[in-house]
Structure 1
Amino acid sequence: GGSNILYIITLSDGFKLVIRLPAPGGDERWDDVAARAMASQVSTLRLIAAKTKIPVPRVYDYDTTKDNVIGAPYMCMSFIPGRVLTEVWDDPELATPLEERRRRVLEALARSLAELAQLGGFNQIGSLQQGDGGEIIEAGPFDTERSYFEYYYERSEGAGRRAKDTIIKRTVLPKFPFPGSSGGFVLSHPDLDAQNVMVEEDGNLTGIIDWDFAHTAPRCVGYCKFPLFIAYDWVPLGVDSSTRELEQYRTHYRWALGAAMGGAGDWKFTKKSHIWEAFMYAAESSFKGVWVSVCRKLI
């Protein structure tokens, strides 16, 4: 991620390791909260590696303190080969035809993320920590979808918002028909965008990276949500994208995910997950006019 410093180390036999240092790890900004976040990421990656076939970095060693030979918190992880999807998604010069490559990416990503169903449901929304006996402990603080979305709004309320945004929020949020998360909450990648997907040039998936701040979440924005890079028309990030084209990719991704899950389980949330993602983005964003933009799409 952009908040980390990465060193790639090649051993004498050609084996590669990645040493990952958090950017604030050497100064006073590194505190107990940051240390717990790193420990949570390690627990999450190890859980995924143990219970699924998702290609994530393997964590060989880590230290959340500065009391080591490096003098900084670090993670020692496996190297994920390939190129970031941002370099491959639009490149017209690669050997594999563009549309074939894109569909291959979507299908491979859907198959991998469907694996998160193996983890089952969790009782709370929050981060994961590993107990002394190696068990996974939920560090919640949310028991309902509504409290989760309300927290993100309250955290950013007043920070540059227009009065119209605040009025819409206070009118819409209490009446919003949350879909419910019977069976608990599920683990979700916090930033499932193209820069965190590693692929070969033909579109085959090699890894999903940057699980910083991964947490359990409502099922409507869980592992069955659309990747952000095919939902830019709903999340107002200033990215120029064709709605018609993105709708086609969402249809294909939903088909691939449904095939991987046998048309069952949380796949039922995928169809409208981009709307929930936009709603969540509006809830936590401090940018002016975001609520207005999202609500106009719902009308």
Structure 2
Amino acid sequence: MSSPKDDTDLAKTHLLDDGKRSANDKSSEDIDVSEDNAESDGEDLLEQYHEILKAIDLKELPRVAIQARMQWAIIKVLPAPTNIEAAVATASPTCGSFHVHFHVEFTDGLRWLLKVPTTGTISRGNSSAAKSLTSEALTMRFPQRKTKIPLPQVYDFDAGLENKLAVPFILMEWTDGCCLYDVWFDNIISEEDLKFKRSRTLEDVASAMIQLSQFSFPRCGSVFFDDAGEASDIGPFRVVDSHAIFARLDANGENCDNSPIFAEIGPLDTHKSYFQNGLARRPEPNTDWQRGDLAVVKLLLESVPEPDVSTRIPFVLTHPDFDIQNVLVSKDGHVKAFIDWDEVCAVPHLLGPERYPSWLTRDWDPSIYGYEEGRGSDQHPDGCPEDSPAVLTFYRKMYAGLISQFAAAREGGAMEGQHDYRVSPAITRQSLVHENLLIAVDEPLCTHHIISNLFDKVQELQINDEMKDMSYWDVTQSLAADEARGQVKDALREGFIALLMVVGVSFDAYEVTLSASWQYRADLLAKIHGIMTDREQSLGAPNIGSHFSLI
């Protein structure tokens, strides 16, 4: 029987290339896919982007860029640029996970970036991809008119193939900055200077995310816009279908097609449906441990809280990949741009702009976290630096405080923009759990590691005597066989709610609970029973937020 580790070791590299990148993997942003570099980067990379390189009419790019620049000057009532004879595309394109990038240089020194999806060909393109690109371009423009969030300006876009370039594209501002990865893990400067830079970055990030949180919607999905550029409707959204990618790898081996696979979802009306949509795409498990993991995932999803719609609109616009490689900063740590907004949509506020950035939550996902005690931050076994759990906890506390600070300023009228609800600092802290639960649902290589880790943390709290001597294997197998006693199911639900409650109050509360008295635990369990009763009476998910003040 294969184990979770065996399957992870077999497929991790391939699946990361297909779209699930490590949070600390910045290399895929800078891959040279020119013909001259084929030998160094491998024929497989060249093959992956071959269709786009063959389809795009680069000789038309200078004229398209000049025309877009002239049109932009008219729209913005700017002086028409003079002495612009031509634009020159740099010879070697680079690529991200799902795009090829061409750099555009004007004769006056201005630089733009052309972004082309790898699916932007006759054989791979479809109406879903076209709608997604249109939504991305218009959504990037939307916050720029209403906030000070640093985003690349979108000058022109075309979601079809019937244009001068013969491919879908977004033509946008070039941002002169460096990847946050390089500044966050700068091992040349002193520890004090590094802490100062990181603090400055997190302050800018928190400020931007609080501004973004003002854009809320009644449903989950891609945002559609009217002719005036205002949000007018919510439609289906796309996600990378890692389940389908993994199934393709399992069926065809390591030499199978390496192109991304997307699933079109929604629009959705509830938080729970957003978390559960990945389960519908998950193939039937074929091992005991997979069936056990899935049984625990389903049980935990029952406790995902639904918002009180009388106090807040349930879905909010957010960055689709809120991670370190998508933040460009100056050398001193100030944020210059948030990039890579493909597949942007409105999501549950539990996973919206109030959540932690993903580079601060790595230690709760053992499938990607590689810190080893005694190794320096530049001595990660995979060659990538890693922060210790203590360091990540420190910066999570800092970030949660910054979110609260900027939220208070906005609610006091000190920041621009309107909003529909008060920001809850508990949402930020709880995202440590919610984000990893979503990853466990969507990413088959991470499921076992995350769910078993959550089980361990629930067990450590010792809220219920039923959890004391339970092993993960025994619990998962009894659940999978539908043989688990009701007390076991209740104990797991209660423990998960307790985890959300204590983490939602503060991470200090989690540490305190681990060494708390019997009476403290008994009081907490009584509160959890109250939550469970509320849920049974309302036939909905528990309203955990209303109980925070009781802890």
Output the TM-score relative to the length of structure 2: 0.51
- Which residue in the other structure is 1:58 paired with? 153
- 1:79-115 residue CA offsets vs partner (Å, 9 max, x unmatched): 1121011121111225882111111111111111111
Select 2:184's aligned residue among 89, 93, 114: 89
Residue 178 in structure 1 maps to residue 305 in structure 2: yes
CA contact (8 A) 2:404 2:423 kept: no
Q: What are the within-5 Å matches in structure 2 for residues 92-241 of structure 1?
A: 92-94=187-189, 97-119=193-215, 121-132=216-227, 134-136=229-231, 137-140=233-236, 141-158=267-284, 162-174=290-302, 176-180=303-307, 182=309, 183-184=312-313, 185-240=315-370, 241=387
5+ unaligned residues in a row in structure 2: which ranges?
1-95, 237-266, 371-386, 412-421, 460-551
Select 2:391's aligned residue among 241, 245, 258: 245
Return the alpha-carbon distance in structure 1 between the equivalents of residues 158 and 187 of structure 2.
Answer: 42
* Bigger Cα Rg: 2
- 1:135-170 residue CA offsets vs partner (Å, 9 max, x unmatched): 322115111111111112222253677121122123
Query: 1:104–1:235: structure 2 CA closer, same or farther, 3 Å change rule?
Result: same
Report the secondary structure of 1:207's partner residue: strand
Select 2:441's aligned residue among 276, 283, 286: 283
CA contact (8 A) 2:98 2:117 kept: yes
5+ unaligned residues in a row in structure 1: which ranges?
none
- 1:239-271 residue CA offsets vs partner (Å, 9 max, x unmatched): 324211111000011111111111762242112
- Which residue in the other structure is 1:298 paired with? 458
Return the alpha-carbon distance in structure 2 between the equivalents of residues 228 and 114 of structure 1.
Answer: 16
The amino acid that maps onto 2:201 is: V
Report the secondary structure of 2:113's partner residue: strand
Return the alpha-carbon distance in structure 1 between the equivalents of residues 271 and 227 of structure 2.
Answer: 29
Return the alpha-carbon distance in structure 2 between the equivalents of residues 158 and 195 of structure 1.
Answer: 33
- 1:4-37 residue CA offsets vs partner (Å, 9 max, x unmatched): 1111212122111111111121341111111111
Query: 1:198–1:298: structure 2 CA closer, same or farther, 3 Å change rule?
Result: farther
The amino acid that maps onto 1:292 is: S
Output the TM-score relative to the length of structure 1: 0.92
Return the alpha-carbon distance in structure 1 between the equivalents of residues 144 and 343 of structure 2.
Answer: 17
Q: How many residues align?
A: 297
Return the alpha-carbon distance in structure 1 between the equivalents of residues 146 and 306 of structure 2.
Answer: 27
Select 2:428's aligned residue among 270, 275, 292: 270
Higher percent of residues as helix: 2
Return the alpha-carbon distance in structure 1 between the equivalents of residues 273 and 317 of structure 2.
Answer: 17
Return the alpha-carbon distance in structure 2 between the equivalents of residues 8 and 97 of structure 1.
Answer: 33
Structure 1 position 134, deviation (Å): 3.5
Higher percent of residues as strand: 1
